[in-house]
Copies of this chain bind each other. A is one copy, B any other.
């Protein structure tokens, strides 16, 4: 009798595969480890396969046995930036999906967890759709991640708080650098279509003259003449000017100010990993205003992979999102879903995780709401600062003398 029960319990167990996709973040490994820890504690899950480089690792059957990793090492992985299993940018074809199911069936894998942004959610949605149609017995869960904070259905996204903390800190230091030497400083911040990360540049402002003095998001059309006039206004007043610009700014016709780069398989143009936009804006300011000291920095990949600056709230929530995915998948109530972060009402900051349909977060992205952008379209509002402050955590006090 007892042996029979054990047999039954054993046969109810299914294996799982987990993978990471898209751009890395400082806390994407927290979600990986959260899922692995929940799976290790679950009676429904047998083997825990980590696919190397996303769905590529499933197709090529390159797996890490995540049940065997010592807890101590898992802890170190959780606190390490970038995607510990490797990443990929690949939109699967129907053929890919069928090949994936073949591999999964062979290994008795009944759970598929994929950590990433909206492109990743789209991939999970495709896999889930083809699985349902082809009769593959697979539970498909998307675990949210994006420093851009642009996933629909979410109050905010794991990865954003830490990247925002990096950006806020960077501007706090750079504001003082500019205060010391003067001139115009332009910093280009990541964010293809959503300006949340660029908006975070304002979080460290404490003194009335603290920069960034101007903030340009992709949600508002960018006009070069208007930009130059804005900079001139700040220079006339303060003798210096710090500017935050999103890499994704476009003109009134919707054409990117910086264009012509390569595209990935999801159709995204390369904006990061080049200093071209910053240099272009610096040249324009020099030419139009005749200011000598104009500098531009592009924060680049440091925003998503710099160690030691992750936000505490972000780390915990990323861990929680991974755990929630496994708990929901094994509960049996939903066959497929994306985990979303919802902020609880009330003055004290608190969140909870819910399940939302995959297609509701796939493909299309969320933008910075109008209530977060000032009328002139060159700064953020108090409402944004209130929204973002708890995600980033306490910032150090800067001691000023002038």
The reply to whether A279 and B272 contact each other, CB–CB distance below 8 Å, is no
| Chain B binder among A81-89, A318-326, A335-343, A360-368 | A81-89
Q: Is A308 positioned at the interface, with any CB of B under 8 Å from its CB?
A: yes
Q: Which of B50, B279, B396 contacts A307 (CB 8 A)?
A: B396
Selected from B53, B77, B173, B397, the residue in CB contact (under 8 A) with A82 is B173
Q: Chain B residues with Cβ under 8 A from A87's Cβ? A: 180-181
Indicate if the CB atoms of A398 and B80 lie closer than 8 Å.
yes
Taken together as a complex, chains A and B put the C-alpha atoms of A398 and B76 apart, in Å, by: 7
Q: For the complex formed by this chain, how many copies does it contain in all?
A: 2
A402 within 8 A of B: yes
Q: Is A274 an interface residue (CB 8 A)?
A: yes
Stretch at the interface among A132-140, A220-228, A292-300, A376-384: A292-300
Q: How far is the CB of A122 from chain B (nearest CB, A)?
A: 18
Alpha-carbon distance between A185 and B181 when the two chains are bound, in angstroms: 31
Chain A 385-402 per-residue mask, 1 if CB under 8 angstroms from chain B, else 0: 000000000001111111
B302 contacts A275, C-beta separation under 8 Å: no
Asked if A309 is at the interface (CB within 8 A of a chain B CB), the reply is yes
A interface list, Cβ under 8 A from B: 20, 23-24, 26, 29, 50, 52-53, 64, 66, 69, 73-89, 169-170, 172-174, 176-177, 179-181, 185, 262, 272-276, 278-279, 282, 292, 294-302, 304-309, 396-402
- List residues of chain B with CB within 8 A of the CB of A79: 396, 399
A275 contact from B179, B276, B399, Cβ within 8 A:
B276
5 additional A-B pairs beyond A76-B398, A80-B399, A173-B302, beta carbons within 8 Å, are: A73-B399, A80-B176, A177-B305, A275-B296, A297-B302
The residue in chain B whose Cβ has the minimal distance to the Cβ of A294 is B273
How far is the CB of A49 from the nearest CB of chain B, in Å? 12
Interface centre among A52, A64, A282, A295 (most CB of B within 10 A): A295
Q: Which of A69, A86, A301, A399 has the most CB of B within 10 A?
A: A399
Are B307 and A301 interface neighbours, CB within 8 A? Answer: no
The closest CB in chain B to the CB of A25 belongs to B177
Chain B min CB distance to A28 (Å): 9
7 contacts between A and B (CB under 8 A): A76-B398, A80-B176, A84-B176, A174-B302, A185-B273, A275-B275, A275-B279
Best-surrounded residue of A53, A173, A262, A298 (most CB of chain B within 10 A): A173
User: Least Cβ distance of A300 to chain B in Å?
Assistant: 3
The residue that A295 contacts in the complex, of B29, B180, B272, B297, with Cβ under 8 A, is B272
A74 to chain B, nearest CB (A): 8
Asked whether A275 lies within 8 Å of B278 as measured between CB atoms, the reply is yes
What's the minimum C-beta distance from A148 to chain B, rounded to whole angstroms? 16
Decide: B262 and A292 in contact? CB cutoff 8 A.
yes
Which of A50, A262, A275, A295 gathers most chain B CB within 10 Å?
Answer: A275
Rounded to whole Å, the gap between the CB of A231 and the closest CB of chain B is: 15
Contacts A64-B401, A76-B397 given; indicate if A176 touches B305 (C-beta within 8 A): yes
